[in-house]
Structure 1
Amino acid sequence: MNKILIASHGHLASGVQSSLEILTGMGNKVTVIDAYVDDHDYVPDIKKFIDGLDGQTGIIFTDLFGGSVNQKVMLEVADHENVFVITGTNLPIVLSVVLENEAITKTKLEELIAASQVQLVEEPKDDTDLSDDSFLE
């Protein structure tokens, strides 16, 4: 069992959680921190998440590499080998991790990240109708 935290500037974290709930009904499988939306100090929330792992694997998603949320997360996970931090978070990677049935390892995370669907989408050059199948490749 993995425990998952999404921490972001603003409401990105809770937005991803909402999308997870709509798409999979599994929004309750993630903990979220929406930082800087009020005066709340979120660092204790990061510590609480890490302390609650009890030896389980923790996966923490942050929005911006080197951003303040990512920096504070990295300071808190420094001595925890059972915690992975993924930054530059998008919905596909969170979905992939939440839906993954295999044990989460560094290698598995690298595979999921490689397939996280970040790509440039261009219109077809011909006059074919766009359908859902147009995006499968």
Structure 2
Amino acid sequence: MERTIVIGHGHFATGLQSALELIMGIQKNIEFIDFDRNMSIDDLRSKIKTITLDENTTVFVDLFAGSPFNVIVDEILHGANTRLFYGITLGMLMEYVSKLSFDIKLSDEEIVDIGKNQVGKFILTNYFQNDSVDEL
């Protein structure tokens, strides 16, 4: 069974959890870990050490080279066989969770592509070609 962990600075992870569960319901196989101002890096490291990081685990963090990222990289360097992605967004997590609900395991490239496709610029003229706002 695929296991997912989301880690972020402040209340980023539990903020994603709140939004995700509002839209998609309670998620049982996802653990959300906040790295808040009252925690040290050692506290975060201790919390991570209680989690099994294996080939069935995918970890998402908020920032490249931030403390959550660095702690997971350290675990990988010490033998943890897990996937690590940085730059998680709500849209990316929703699409990932949706695929998992149908037992679709995404490749690393597919996960990165989802993240890239979740960022864009709204251009008003693209939405009003039929002079109707009903489609929004």
Q: CA RMSD in A?
A: 2.4
Structure 1 residue runs of 4+, over 2 Å off? 26-29, 101-105, 122-131
Indicate whether 1:48 and 2:38 are aligned.
no
For residues 71 and 111 of structure 2, the distance between their equivalents in structure 1, rounded to whole angstroms, comes to 24
CA displacement at 1:129 relative to structure 2: 4.8
* Identity across the alignment (%): 24
Instruction: Confirm or deny: 8 A CA contact 2:11 2:36 kept in the other structure.
Output: no
Structure 2 equivalent of residue 119 of structure 1: 120
For residues 92 and 36 of structure 2, the distance between their equivalents in structure 1, rounded to whole angstroms, comes to 24
Instruction: Confirm or deny: 8 A CA contact 1:11 1:37 kept in the other structure.
Output: no
> Quick one: which amino acid aligns to residue 39 of structure 1?
M
Structure 1 equivalent of residue 75 of structure 2: 76
1:66-110 residue CA offsets vs partner (Å, 9 max, x unmatched): 1122111111122222x11010010122112222234535xx232
Structure 2 equivalent of residue 5 of structure 1: 5
Structure 2 equivalent of residue 61 of structure 1: 60
Structure 2 equivalent of residue 90 of structure 1: 89
| Structure 1: segments with no counterpart, 5+ residues | none
CA displacement at 1:39 relative to structure 2: 3.1
> Quick one: which amino acid aligns to residue 58 of structure 2?
I
Alignment size in residue pairs: 127
CA displacement at 1:122 relative to structure 2: 2.5
CA displacement at 1:23 relative to structure 2: 1.0
Indicate whether 1:36 and 2:47 are aligned.
no
CA displacement at 1:56 relative to structure 2: 5.4
Q: 1:114 to 1:56 in 2, by over 3 A?
A: closer
For residues 19 and 28 of structure 2, the distance between their equivalents in structure 1, rounded to whole angstroms, comes to 11
| Structure 2: segments with no counterpart, 5+ residues | none
For residues 64 and 120 of structure 1, the distance between their equivalents in structure 2, rounded to whole angstroms, comes to 21
Structure 1 equivalent of residue 15 of structure 2: 15
For residues 70 and 55 of structure 2, the distance between their equivalents in structure 1, rounded to whole angstroms, comes to 22
> Quick one: which amino acid aligns to residue 119 of structure 1?
G
For residues 49 and 94 of structure 1, the distance between their equivalents in structure 2, rounded to whole angstroms, comes to 20
